Structure 1
């Protein structure tokens, strides 16, 4: 399976210069725990999570009102191409210790794949395998 078959295409984005308060409000309005941060050209610069807002924003050394997305977004962000394989993405997420990966093509951001997406997909596959086993050994 390819990433493009699993990725969410309705990605919530914010600008690198959006205030931290606006970023948090966007997350609340959109009911998401993370947003992709893009620059003025739409290029992915990073990801901000609700945890980043608390740990690096609210609990940081600066006044939250003075912070923008660029001040706290995660810097160990990598992206994958839509035609990347799921196993490749899982391996890279494990290596980098991340839960969210932007999906980027030559035209820019096209989606995001998350740990939740992968777990739901894998649980469906495991259920299909369990059905095979149940079919071989009726109880």
Structure 2
């Protein structure tokens, strides 16, 4: 049974720069079937943006999504884990901070994302959350 974040994380996360338009990020998410991408400035992790963030923090306020950048939509108060952290630590952080995804950072560089669904599949693949996590999108 995997015990470390590196055993279940999604490696090589998709990243975008802070000045990337909300429209461009939404297209990336659609085309790559992603619910979140990391926002980086060069090699420095600046934030995480989810599909929900795009709607609630950008589109709901109006404006042109081609002109609005992801910098204003991303969560920048990040909670992160390291690849060598154990899964129990990741679970505890998700509970404590009420987040569904954690960027995985190694020596200051984003190397992955671990999601609630990843943990559900690892700990209880027969659970409802495990089933939902592996189901094909209904788009």
Contact 1:12 1:30 in 2 (8 A): no
Correspondence list, 1:22-33, <5 A:
22-33=24-35
Cα root mean square deviation, aligned? 1.7
Which protein is bigger by CA-based radius of gyration?
1
| Runs of 4+ with >6 A deviation | none
1:3 and 2:26 correspond: no
User: Contact 2:24–2:66 at 8 Å: present in 1 too?
Assistant: no
Instruction: Please identify which structure carries the higher helix content.
Output: 1
Distance 1:125 1:55, change over 3 A: closer
Q: Which runs of 5 or more residues in structure 1 are unaligned?
A: 127-139
Unmatched tracts of structure 2, length 5 or more: 128-139
- Distance in 2 (CA, whole Å) between partners of 1:66 and 1:125 is 43
| TM-score normalized with structure 1 length | 0.83
Q: Distance in 1 between matches of 2:32 and 2:15?
A: 10
> How far 1:55 moved relative to its partner?
0.8
Q: TM-score, normalised by structure 2?
A: 0.83
Q: Distance in 1 between matches of 2:51 and 2:109?
A: 24
